Amino acid sequence: MRKIRVLVVEDSLVFRNLLVQGLNQDSALEVVATASDPFEARDKIIEYRPDVMTLDIELPRMSGLEFLRKLMPQYPLPVVIISALSEKVFDAMKAGAVDFVAKPQVTEREQLRNFLCSELPVKIKVASTAHVSRYKKPVAFAADQHLSVRSDIDIIAIGASTGGTEAIAEVIRDFSTDIPGTVIVQHMPPGFTEMYANRLDSQSRVKVKEAKNGDMVAPGQVLIAPGGSEHMSIVKVGDNYKVVLKKGEKVNGHCPSVDVLFNSVADVAGAHAIGIILTGMGGDGAKGLLKMQKNGARTIGQDEASCIVYGMPKVAYDLGAVMYQEKLSDIAKKIYTLLNQR
């Protein structure tokens, strides 16, 4: 079986060597070249034609972000960002990176071991399957033109993984303030979800925030599950819905899990919900979406052509959980169509 060819771009010699040693221990991966700055990386890409590139953001001579913006329109390549806690990772995702991972502390041996032996190799393997293409500016759906929103839809639940940060941004950018309360699980490292929510809030007409335990689900508001060790579920309190964050083991390899969220929405909202599953590797959310559909909810899955990784939506579609399969740019429009049905 052909190994996945990796180019490592990292200016720290110590960390670069750790990356090479760690990744080469995985039988499915081969580090074919390394680079300490974007100019060297450009030459190595041409010479070695890697399948995936890992990229630090803080680099000499040119930032990793600027390099990515110059690279992707000319040479689309699956890129995994390795970064300290910084909002710049979301700029990198917008520029075309497939995924990102938090840079570990070299002095924290257990954290470093998990990063080198598990977390990063998995990200690279997923990235190698990604559909990268030249950046296309999304065409916004004119949500101002929608009719009055259906009153019997109380909640919208969205799940995503690899490629989801930009997919979610494209969907909620078209939400108006009368959209039903929206809850989201996006697989993301701890610490990044608050920055992501704040970023979306500044770009959207709706209020976007990282969910806190006890938050009420309200129209015109989007709640994003915090990354880390807590699952997010929804409970009903009278005629309203409330967020519950609870520590738990990983479900489908993730915490928070999309399935946990979708199952709870299926239980408490039934037919008064819309479920949406977006780009991502694996099957998290597929069974929960099926439960939502069986309990009367409308369900939407992102189509293969517009997915970075057609994993979660495919599993859901194959299970029969997806009622409407839509390209990413049409999902917001489809939501409003469903909200306006009589």
Is-cis flag, bond preceding 256, omega within 30?
Answer: yes
Question: What is the helix (H) or strand (E) element at residue 286, kind and residue range?
Answer: helix 286-294
| Ramachandran bin of 37, using left for φ above 0, alpha for ψ from -120 to 50, beta for the remaining angles | beta
Is the Cβ–Cβ distance between 162 and 184 less than 8 Å? no
Is the Cβ–Cβ distance between 131 and 306 less than 8 Å? no
Question: What is the helix (H) or strand (E) element at residue 233, kind and residue range?
Answer: strand 230-237
Question: What is the helix (H) or strand (E) element at residue 240, kind and residue range?
Answer: strand 240-247
Catalytic residue among 187, 231, 254, 272: 187
Catalytic residue among 128, 161, 233, 257: 161
User: Is 187 part of the annotated catalytic residue set?
Assistant: yes
Mapped onto helix, strand or coil, the DSSP state of residue 310 is strand
A 10 A CB-CB count for 24 gives: 13
Which tokens go with 103? Answer: 């840079």
Backbone Cα Rg of the chain: 20
Active site residues: 161, 187, 284
